[in-house]
Amino acid sequence: MSGPIVLALRILLTLSLISLLGWMYYSIWQNVRQQGEILASRKVPGINIEIRQKDSLPIARLFTQPEIVIGREPNSDILLTEETASARHARLNYHHSQWWLEDLDSKNGTILNSNKLTTPTVIISNDEIICGKTTLTIRLQSDSSVTTTQRI
Amino acid sequence: MTDRLQSRLLKLAGGFLALYAIILTLSPAVRMRTWQVSYRWEHWIGLLVWAVCFAIANYQTSRLLPDRDPFLLPITAVLSGWGLLLIWRLVPSLGMRQTIWLLLATAVLTIGLRLPANLRHLRNYKYLLLFSGLLLTALTLFFGANPLGYGPQLWLGYRSVFLQPSEPLKLLLVIYLAAYLSDRIHLRRRLLLLTFPTILVIGLSLLLLLVQRDLGTASIFIGLYTMILYMGTARRRFLLICFGTLLLAGILGYFTIDIVRLRVDTWLNPWADPSGTSYQIVQSLLAIANGGLLGRGPGLGSPGLVPVAHSDFIFAALAEEHGLMGTAALLMLYGLLINRGFRAALNAQDRYRRILAAGLTTYLGIQTLLIVGGNLRLLPLTGVTLPFVSYGGSSLITGTIAILLLLLIGSQPDDEPAPLPKPSPYLITSALLLSGLLLSLLANSYWGIIRSADLLTRTDNPRRSIADRYVPRGQILDRDNRPINMTDGQVGEYKRSYLIPELGSVIGYTHPIFGQAGLEASLDNYLRGLQGNPVSLVLWNQLLYGQPPEGLDVRLSIDLELQAAADQALKEHTGALVLIDASTGDILVISSHPTFDPNLLDQTGNTLIDDPDARLLNRVTLGSYPIGRTLKSLFGSDIESMKTFGLFEAPRLRMGSVTARAAADNPTISPLQAALAAAVYSAEGIRPPARITTAIKTSQSGWVILPALGDPKRVLSPSGAADTAESLMIPEEPFWQVSETLTEADSAYTWYLAGTLPNWQATPLTIVLLLEEDNEPLAVEVGSKILKEALQP
């Protein structure tokens, strides 16, 4: 009789080992899920950009996505029409709780507040960006609802 | 969140270990198959100490390191607890020592939690630390000892406390390399200039280890050095250079250091010498094979058969008692540990702590792979410990310190990790370690599942003779169910006794050292209960006890009274006598002399093998003797007709037998062949098949007849056979007989053949007697006497 009882205990032993490992791996997955939820709930503070293209009236647009591409390419977020701008000219990026401007190897360069841009640079309200013959003026919205990135 | 998770994981680990302890307590009952046994309790003290130690460690980590990695402590806890209970199970005398070591290790862990998180002391005193480590190791050159009393002297001992300095040396090497590289790497000097001091240090250490023949640690050193430098400098050529060096060192070592050659040879071909040089690895594989999928259960396997199972071969012990499920879980725990270690490295806030964390993880990973791979024959064997699990205080404390440092490095407030321009060395290193674990798992499946069956039936598997002590083996009975060989005693002490020792060379023996012979070998599957029992019963017993069910009794055709008469007559002579039922081929008497007493095998076994009288030889079936003109003419003179008499085929019998040597005009034959051929003259021209095993006793349907393996064959017409038999008959006796003597240069053989006449009304019989001497009168006298006795109603 001892054999079957101990067999049941042995199966229980294996199951307890599996449940220990299962719990570990489940916790890791849960960790990833939480991380995903944090990222999903993270709000990008809106950015207002006043666009003044040559030969047209200035327009103001509000963006809420974390990445804004500026260029002549049809799927650009800010579509430039004049010839001096490159197809993918510059990019605005939100990370580390800030908006960064980055030149995408444009032919004629990107100018931030009358300085030519060489490395990605943090921008603030009232900064002026010039791509070709287009001038963009930044108006940042205040960002109280922002959470920072957590390590996974 | 972190605290709750860590506590919950520790509780789960505690539940697992408690179940282990309960099963270990109950295990003697399963072994002896009764509840009236003395149970094992001593390991509960180990579990208690474990629980207290890790409860304190859990509390202290929650208090002092709120942002730590919640997995590191539970992994350490379950590995060290599992190892502790395994050691209590394997070598109870070492259990208390390991318990004390665990107490010390967790004390070091708990106290060390207060160290400053930037670990700058370790960084500043790197040379001091490393050289004190080297000094301690160097001391073993002069004051070295080995706790076992033999083997490499790698320990420093005082009374009965031993320290193995090469264990902390690994840790100190990692600290040194991390500190050195993080200080110097930004100088962007030439690679050689950069690495020169480290090469000096590592060379010195290796030299020391080589002199001490601590080759396992030396291999870990080379591997660690390579990976840390690769991660520190991100230059791939390091891997190539070091791989080349390792290969070169291996080849050089193979030709200059005996132990390296031995290890490599037994790795490449362990089956060449399974009882000698590769005994360890073969026993390790047998233990793993015995584990199968679910394992035998704590306390229910025989891992003690593998030498030093509590240290070098603890993985094999674990595989035997927990099976593939257990080892898979173990390897996954190590995999998770490696994963968490590298996570701590990548999240570290400066390069020093990053290299340190990665180095510590690599150290634990390499050491695990080296010994697990060695146990599984993936790698040559090296005597290193399985981190946290193997017996050994130095190793346990070193491993715990590594975990402590990882906990400190990994428990940073949410700061940005230091930038890492080239992350690929870290990814490649962790991928290498993890795929090594995966490969181990595959190798474990191969030995434990795929090759399990054919490994376990190997005759050098000691588990078979252990099972013989716990499961009664079937009896061997004569034709009237009188016992010949039987098993008696109690569970755990069953012993085979041989009631008719004169039948030793025929029925054979089953012995834990000398294996099996004769019918005991050829009928083993029945006697052991593997054949003749329902498959479900065999599988159920295997699952419950890892042993076969009760054996089946086997009935032979032997008549013990006639057998005793024959043995009495041949006692003082060298020869063979066989009496068969001419119509069925059943062997009534089978006597081979001189023989041996299987009951005395313990004392005589070693000398029997080289015995000049060939006592082990069953002369009736395996002896091969020349025949002269008389016998030749009896069997038709020419080769063709001798073939029809069956002299050139081995009688098919459930035991070993030989065929005649086909030297064209001078065949040599066995007495059994002669008897079967001569039976033609007593059985109306038909040669019977031979049979000695007549029935087996199954649990469901009682005695089941085993048919003869061959078919009867007509050789002569009934009248032809009768004519010859009558021409050979002797006055006033109901049988025919022939005899002849052959003398060769230094030996002589006397044959006597006789058999009943075709008109004999009762069972027809044929007898063959062979004496290895020139003594025809004796042969005739003995042969006819036994035949006449057999003819008595």
Dump the DSSP string for B256-323: H-HHHHHHHHHHH-GGGSTTTTTHHHHHHHHHHHHHTTT-S-TTTS-GGGSTTTTTTTHHHHHHHHHH
Pairing mode, if any, of strands B515-516 and A134-140? Answer: unpaired
Residues B317, B309: Cα–Cα separation, whole Å: 6
CA–CA min distance A38, chain B (Å): 15
Alpha helix ranges (H) inside B609-690: 619-622, 629-634, 639-644, 671-678
- Beta-strand relationship, B748-756 and B765-771: antiparallel
Residues of A in contact with B9 (CB under 8 A): 20, 23-24, 27
CB contact under 8 A, B35 and A1: yes
Q: Do A10 and B414 touch (CB under 8 A)?
A: no
Among A19, A21, A150, the residue with its CB nearest the CB of B414 is: A150
Task: Say yes or no for a CB contact (<8 Å) between B9 and A19.
Answer: no
Is A12 in the B-facing interface, judged by CB distances under 8 Å?
A: yes
Subunit contact B414:A148, Cβ cutoff 8 A: yes
Q: Do B294 and A4 touch (CB under 8 A)?
A: no
The answer for A 101-140 residues in CB contact with B (under 8 A) is none
What pLDDT, on the 0 to 100 scale, is given for residue B414? 63
Nearest to residue B12, comparing CAs of A31, A26, A30? A26
Q: What is the pLDDT of residue A149?
A: 46
How far apart are the C-alpha atoms of B453 and B563, rounded to whole Å? 39
Q: Copy the structure tokens of residue B744.
A: 């060769």
Give the integer Cα–Cα distance in Å for B61 and A70: 51
The overall average pLDDT reported for chain A is 84
Q: What dihedral angle (degrees, nearest 10) is formed by the CA atoms of B389, B395, B401, B403?
A: -30
Q: Which residues of B touch A (CB under 8 A)?
A: 5, 8-9, 12-13, 15-16, 19-20, 22-23, 26-27, 29-30, 33-35, 70-71, 74, 78, 294-295, 297-298, 300, 322-323, 325-326, 329, 332-333, 336, 347, 414, 417, 543-545
Kindly report the backbone phi and psi dihedral angles of residue A84, in degrees, each rounded to the nearest multiple of 5, phi listed first.
-75, -15
Q: What is the pLDDT of residue B665?
A: 61
Q: What are phi and psi of B509, to 5 degrees?
A: -150, 165
Q: Is B765 exposed, middle or buried, given 0-12, 13-18 or 19+ CB atoms closer than 10 A?
A: buried
Measured in angstroms, the CA of B544 and the nearest CA of chain A are apart by 5
Rounded to a whole number, what is the distance in Å from the CA of B489 to chain A's nearest CA? Answer: 21
Contact A3 B545 (CB under 8 A): yes
First to last CA, chain A: 50
A13 contacts B20? CB cut-off 8 A: yes
Residue A147's pLDDT is 45
Rg for chain A (alpha carbons), in Å? 26
Model pLDDT, residue A142: 64
Question: Residue B218: how many CB atoms within 10 A of its CB?
Answer: 21
B75 Cα to chain A: minimum distance (Å): 10
Interface contact flag, A9 B19, Cβ < 8 Å: yes
The residue count for chain B = 793
Q: What is the DSSP string of A73-136?
A: STT-SEE--STTS-SS-EEEEEETTEEEEEE-S-SS-EEETTEE--S-EE--TT-EEEETTEEE
3-class SS at B753?
strand
B489 Cβ contact partners less than 8 Å away, ≥ 6 residues apart: B495
- B8, A3: Cβ pair inside 8 Å? no
Residue A87 tokens, joined? 């197809």
Chain A residues whose CB is inside 8 A of the B6 CB are none
User: What are the chain B neighbours of A11 within 8 Å (beta carbons)?
Assistant: 294
What band does A152 get if pLDDT is binned at 50, 70 and 90? very low
pLDDT lower than 70: segments of chain B: 148-151, 158-159, 185-191, 413-415, 655-666, 793
pLDDT at A145 (0 to 100): 44
Going B488 to B494 to B500 to B501, the CA torsion angle's sign is: negative
CB contact under 8 A, B35 and A18: no
3-state secondary structure of B576: strand
Any B CB within 8 A of A74 CB: no
- Judge: A2–B33 Cβ closer than 8 Å, yes or no: yes
Contact: A5, B26; criterion CB under 8 Å:
yes
Going from the C-alpha of B361 to that of each of B206, B335, B399, the distances in angstroms are: 21, 10, 10
Q: What angle do CA B664, B670, B672 make, to 5 degrees?
A: 130
Pairwise CB contact (< 8 Å): A24 & B13: no
The residues near B561 (Cβ < 8 Å, ≥ 6 apart) are none
Tell me how close the Cα of B340 comes to any Cα of chain A, in angstroms.
10
Strands A128-131 and A110-112: antiparallel
**Edge-to-edge strand order for the sheet containing A115-116?**
A59-63, A47-52, A134-140, A128-131, A110-112, A115-116
The 8 Å CB, 24+ separation contacts for B730-734 are B733/B784, B733/B788, B734/B760, B734/B791
Confidence of residue A146 (pLDDT cuts 50, 70, 90): very low
In this prediction, residue B656 carries a pLDDT of 60
> Which residues of B fall within a CB distance of 8 Å from A19?
12
The answer to whether the CB atoms of A20 and B544 lie below 8 A apart is no
Residues near B59 by beta carbon (within 8 Å), at least 6 away in sequence: none
B133-B397-B16 Cα angle (round to 5): 160
**Do residues B52 and B360 lie in contact, with contact meaning Cβ atoms separated by under 8 Å?**
no
d(CA A31, nearest CA chain B) in Å: 10
- A-chain residues near B23 (CB < 8 A): 6, 9-10, 13
Residue A57, burial from CB neighbour count under 10 angstroms (0-12, 13-18, 19+): exposed
Alpha-carbon gap, residue B465 to B472, rounded angstroms: 11
Which pLDDT does position B232 carry in this prediction?
83
The helix/strand/coil state of A30 is helix
Contacts across the A-B interface (CB distance below 8 Å): 89
A23 lies within 8 A of chain B by CB: yes
Which amino acid is present at B178?
A
Say whether A14 and B325 touch across the interface (CB within 8 A).
yes
B401 sits in the region (left: phi over 0; alpha: psi -120 to 50; else beta) called alpha
B636/B693 Cα distance (integer angstroms): 31
Nearest CA in chain A to B67: A151
Q: Kindly state the tokens that stand for A23.
A: 């719990």
Condensed to tens digits (0 to 9), the pLDDT of residues A58-98 reads 888 888 888 888 888 888 888 888 888 888 889 888 887 78
With H, G, I as helix, E, B as strand and everything else as coil, classify residue B391: coil
